[in-house]
Amino acid sequence: MKALLPTLVLSILGLVTLQEGYDDTPYLPDGRWRVHDKARPRPEVVTPGTGTAAPSDAIVLFDGTNLAEWKAGNGSEARWKLTDNGAMEVNGTGDIQTRREFGDVQLHLEWRTPPAIQGESQGRGNSGVFLMGRYEVQVLDSHENQSYADGQAAAMYGQRPPDVNASRPAGEWQTYDILFRAPRFEAESGEVLEPALVTVFHNGVCVHHAQPFIGSTTHKRVGTYTPHGETGSLRLQDHGNPVRFRNVWVREL
């Protein structure tokens, strides 16, 4: 016991890390690490967000103060309206997209359709979140709105409806938490080796779980894949309705 005291004291002081685990257990299928391998690197420590705050390893794309992370589709400055409550609002100046490009990501954003209901079907609070600029998760006021199924809020637009309608009433803030895995293409032929996959939580409710996109998002046609790079911009759609967004962040996976 006496021989252990110095090590224990140093461990408490943070000067020694006790490597708990084993070095005599079977190897896992990949042949790299053993079961409970004591030499396997421990996960990086990340501080989770509190409330609506982003976790410590996230890239904050919009915090309510400026549009520095965004640009217009033609590369010019993004010109959406900044509101006095920390949101950005669609204002008829066109889609905006991130200056950075991403592949596999965890994406969080909050959105709100106008409190005053105007129009019907796809004319009520229409916008969209385009992953890699191609694969859309629909934004729409779908509270008591009988639009077509694959155009509802959280739909993989034109391809798959959400499992359930988790929409809040117009004018209330809603959340999307999206896990996206980019498609994989064969380098020379451009053949799709693995389709793009998406998992979507709408207001905390899982409405898609590891669902494949059949191709890029289109309107009134069946989407198809066109080979593209490993990364692409995130794009938010200007569909003519003053939809608001706030608290947008990503984690690269």
Q: 111: closest CA among 50, 168, 51, 150?
A: 168
The Cβ-side half-sphere exposure at 90, using a 13 Å CA radius, reads: 26
Q: What share of the chain is helix, strand, coil (3-state, %, to 5)?
A: 5, 30, 60
Give residue 16's pLDDT: 46
Model pTM?
0.86
CB 127 within 8 A of CB 141: no
Give residue 123's pLDDT: 60
Domain that holds residue 206: 44-253
Residue 191 and residue 246 share a domain: yes
pLDDT digits (tens, 9 = 90+) for 166-204: 999 999 999 999 999 999 999 999 999 999 999 999 999
Give residue 83's pLDDT: 95
Rounded-to-integer distance, Cα 27 and Cα 48, Å: 32
Residue 95 and residue 165 share a domain: yes
**pLDDT tier at 117, thresholds 50, 70, 90:** confident
Where helices occur in the chain by DSSP H, the ranges are: 5-12
Rounded-to-integer distance, Cα 66 and Cα 229, Å: 28
Residue 8 and residue 117 share a domain: no
Give residue 96's pLDDT: 98
Domain holding 251: CATH number? 2.60.120.560
Residue 169 and residue 59 share a domain: yes
Residue 200 and residue 76 share a domain: yes
Residue 193 and residue 252 share a domain: yes
Rounded-to-integer distance, Cα 222 and Cα 224, Å: 7
Radius of gyration of the chain from its Cα atoms, rounded to whole angstroms? 22
Q: How many domains does the chain have?
A: 2
CB 135 within 8 A of CB 105: no
How does 69-102 read in b/e, with b if 16+ C-beta sit within 10 Å? Answer: bbbbeeeeebebeeeeeebbbbeeebbbbbeeeb
| Maximal C-alpha separation, the chain | 79
Give residue 17's pLDDT: 52
The Cβ-side half-sphere exposure at 61, using a 13 Å CA radius, reads: 28
Residue 91 and residue 24 share a domain: no
